[in-house]
Structures are given as structure tokens and as C-alpha cells.
Amino acid sequence: MAQKLFLDALIGRDDFEVQDQAHNSQGPHKTTLSYGDFEIPGFFFSSLRKPDFQRETNEWDAEKVKDLVESFLDGDLVPAIILWKYADSYTFVIDGAHRISAIAAWVNDDYGDGKISRKFFDNAIPEQQIETAKKARQIINQDIGSFKDFKDALFEPEIAAEHVKKRLKNFGTRALQLQWVDGDSKKAESSFFKINQKSTPISDTEIAILEARRMPAGLCSRAILRGGQGYKYWNVFAPELSEKIQSEAKTINNLIFKPELITPIKTLDLPLGGKNHASNSLSMVFELVKLLGANIKDEDQSGKETFKALVEIRKSLQRVNDIHPSSLGLHPAVYIYSQSGNFRISCFHAIIVFTKKLVDSNKLDVFTENRKDFESTMIKSDMVIQQIVRKARQANKAVVPLVKFFYAILEKLTLQTSADNVLTELGKTQEFSYINLEEVHQSTTTSSSFSKTTKSAAYISEAISNAPRCNICGGILHQKSISIDHKVRKEDGGDGSVNNAQLSHPYCNSTYKN
């Protein structure tokens, strides 16, 4: 699947609702956009904004951007850009943000990795985004030519490439058509949703995120996804609190998405949350903050509730996998990823909820006592988890049955059921009678070549079987969550020699052992 370009930095954002509703869109307005209008900084772009509720500009890949630029250069039909302007201030894009951003990316040589993007994201640009931008630049410059190539050709047309020369005569006459929405900001917002629902339908989750943009759940989600960078929706709050929100969001982003996921998998140092720039990352984070209790009903007037929610989210994630003393250090390869290395959103959500349930029910020690057998069962449950998700039909609807499944495993183990028999015994219960254990052992691989998933599966299988284990509970250790424990405690006379050191999970070392 082609990687999407992240062009969100090219058009700034602003709040529709800060304006006086009595001020309407006023003309006369310009009717077209030419090349000069796309240069940043420039007079047009300095006043251009996306509404704060608009989706991020990250839905187009390099080929789609290239096709749009070619259509623009060749005079092919490009749908009009729809704008709205109030009084004497900003101009808002109601429809066409991707089209404008595609031309702006070409004109400014910024496909998500350039000077504009780096300033916008304070240089915090993931390597995957940089690589995707480089590939796009290579494709577009090779097939079309860079904007600089066209400008240089104006002075020295004889040395220009043929595909540049061919378009040079019409270069200065191309333009995008503009349409304008009349009325106040409520009319403009209504127009935005109507237009975008008809052209590229917005999912129910996306609508919920847009509607929650001033509520703690929405504010937390957007802050977490970009690690506190990009458009700062929380800057309406007091500066000190705004900085705290940004800091918490950055920490949470690291807990979820670091280190970066690279496939095929050749390391067990995997992130909890898969790839940061997957198309469903914002939805995944939004579902997480809702599951952990962030308010989705009331607007946050001061920022205090948003900050409080972020603190609780951080604590929940630290409990799952971190160096923090409270961390169970749950290994993503065991609890979240499939045996073939596929990231499972449902398991990401479910294991965080399950961990919270262990805390709330005071069963952390019970889990620790049975952890080795619990993980052995989890490793055997790859196809069972697929069956549970399949039955739920949607990943977010699978969270509750998965949490019940995890809890049922623990209950069977506490009743002295052997790890080898847990799945068989669960299949006999009414709740999990649909489990087909025969499917667990069926192979679906028919190709003679090694696919990316097969390579990942081979590595994970070998690496898990040889992974270091906690010397206290016997569970598998993850690189982000290893504590060095005194075999003989310091208060009992234990020294700091290597012979008295053992690897453990932070929770096992700091709490369970004591």
C-alpha cells in the first residue's frame, strides 16, 4: 500500500468560532489561484487557514499529488476550491485543502519534510514521514520536474528537460478556480460538513472527533497523536497549563509509538501502538482516551480536565510498558501483535483496559503469580484472538470480549488449569463455545516465496522462544521495561555485584517481590 504524504503544515488552522457571528463573508473576491499564490511565505497563504475541525491533510499519496500537479499544468479539469472569508481577516478552506496543499507542496518543495513542515512540527518529524516525502519528491521531479526547474527554464529554456519545455509556454496561464461561500461562520461550517460528506464521506468516528475538538477526549487525542506538535488546539488555555498538556502529550506519544515500527520485523523492540502515521492512528488514539474515561460530553473551558485526563492516560500506559516502577512490562509481541507481526488495534486497546481492570480489582499480584503460564497461553491464542475479533465484526467492538477472554485465561490458571489445557477448557464454556481450536493449527500459507509477514513470523517465533525472562515471575522481558533487581535485597545485606543482579519487570522488582 502506498504511503500517504503528511501535508498538514502547509495551510495553517484557526478557530471558526472566535469570530463575531454578525460578520459575514464580504467581497469582492479573487476568482482564481495562480502559481504565485502558492508560494510560502506569500500574501495569499499568510491569510489562508483550515477550520480547526477539518481533518488533517494526510490522505493523498505521491501518485495522487503528482496527478493533481499534472492536471494543473496541463489545464485539465480540477474541481474548484471553495473558500469563506469573514470581515477583513482570515480566508478559510471549506473544500479543497488537499488540492491546494498538493500544489503548494510542489511549489515550495515541501512534501512533509521541508522547511515549512520542520518549523511547524519543531523538527519532530518521524523517519517514515521523511522517507515518504523523499520518494514523492523523486517521483514528481522525475516525471514532471520541480517548480524550480520551471522557473530556471524561464531564463535558460534551451537547457530545460523536454517535459518541462513542453509545458513552459502555458506555465504562466494556469490557475485554479475559486468559489466563495456567503454567510456567517455557522453557514460556512454547515457547508463544510455537507460538501465533505458528499465528496469524501467522513466516518462516524471522524465526525465524533471533529465534534469533540473542544472536549477533553478530542483535545487529548490530537495532542497525543502529534506528540504535542503541529497545530496546538490547547493554546487557548493558560500558558503554564498549555505547556503541561503539551509535555504530557509528548510523553504519551513516546509510550505508544516509540520505537518506530519497521517491517518486516527484525527486532522485538516493538512499539505498543504500531505506526504513528497509519491512516487509522487518530481513531485508535481517540478510542483509547474514551476507553480510559476522558470526557467526551462537555467542553473544557480551562484545560484542567484535559490535563487530568492526560495524566491518567500516561499512568495507564506506564503500567503496561515502561521503566516506571509500576510497569508490568507487557511485551507487545506477546500481547498486541499477531504471530506474523501484524499490529492489532483491538489487542492494543484490550490489553490496556485489561491492565486497568487488574489494578481496579487488586489482582496484579495474582496476574504476576500466573504470568508465565498466562503468556504461554497468549502465544498459543493467535487464531483464537482472530476468531474473537471476527465475531465482533469491528476492532473497537472486540475490546470487551477480548478483555473477558484475557480475564477468563487468568481465572482458569488460578484454578490450577494447566497452560496446555486453558484454551480447551474455555472452549467448553458457553461464552467461548464458538472457539475453533482446529483452526489454530491450520496453515494458510500457499506461496513458495517468503512474504513480509512470513519473514516477520519467522523472526518473532525464534526471538520469542529465546527472549530474556524476568527472574521473579518468569514472564518475557521487553527492552523498554527491564529493571535490575538485587537477588539479595540491600536491606538484607545484598551487594551491588553482578552475581547479585538479576533481570526483572519493574513491578516485580519494586512491588511484587516486596
pLDDT at 188: 67
d(CA 63, CA 270): 30
237 close to 303: Cβ distance less than 8 angstroms = yes
pLDDT at 361: 95
Secondary structure E strands in 314-458: none
CA 198 vs. chain centroid, Å, equals 26
Order of all β-strands in the sheet with 81-85? 12-14, 48-51, 91-95, 81-85, 176-180, 32-33
d(CA 304, CA 220): 12
Q: Omega of the bond prior to 157 within 30 degrees of 0, cis?
A: no
508 close to 468: Cβ distance less than 8 angstroms = no
Which three cell numbers, joined as nine digits, stand for 159?
537547457
Which three cell numbers, joined as nine digits, stand for 261?
515500527
Q: Report the b/e string of 122-139 with b at 16+ CB within 10 A.
A: eeebbebbbebbebbbeb
Positions of the chain with pLDDT lower than 70, given as ranges: 1-2, 16-28, 53, 86-88, 183-203, 206, 278-279, 440-450
pLDDT at 455: 83
- Percentages of the chain per state (helix, strand, coil), in multiples of 5: 50, 5, 40
Q: Full-prediction pTM beyond 0.85?
A: no
pLDDT at 441: 47
Q: Domain coordinates of the chain in residue numbers?
A: 12-202, 248-460
d(CA 495, CA 513): 17
pLDDT at 449: 64
Secondary structure E strands in 148-231: 176-180
Q: Which helix (H) or strand (E) holds 95?
A: strand 91-95
pLDDT digits (tens, 9 = 90+) for 452-462: 777 888 889 89
pLDDT at 18: 45
| Nearest 10 degrees: Cα torsion 398, 401, 403, 404 | 180
pLDDT at 504: 94
DSSP conformational letter for 508: I
d(CA 123, CA 112): 11
**For the purposes of burial, counting CB atoms within 10 Å of the CB of 395, is it exposed (0-12), middle (13-18) or buried (19 or more)?**
buried
pLDDT at 19: 47
Backbone angles phi, psi at 58, to 5 degrees: -145, 30
pLDDT at 442: 47
d(CA 190, CA 185): 8
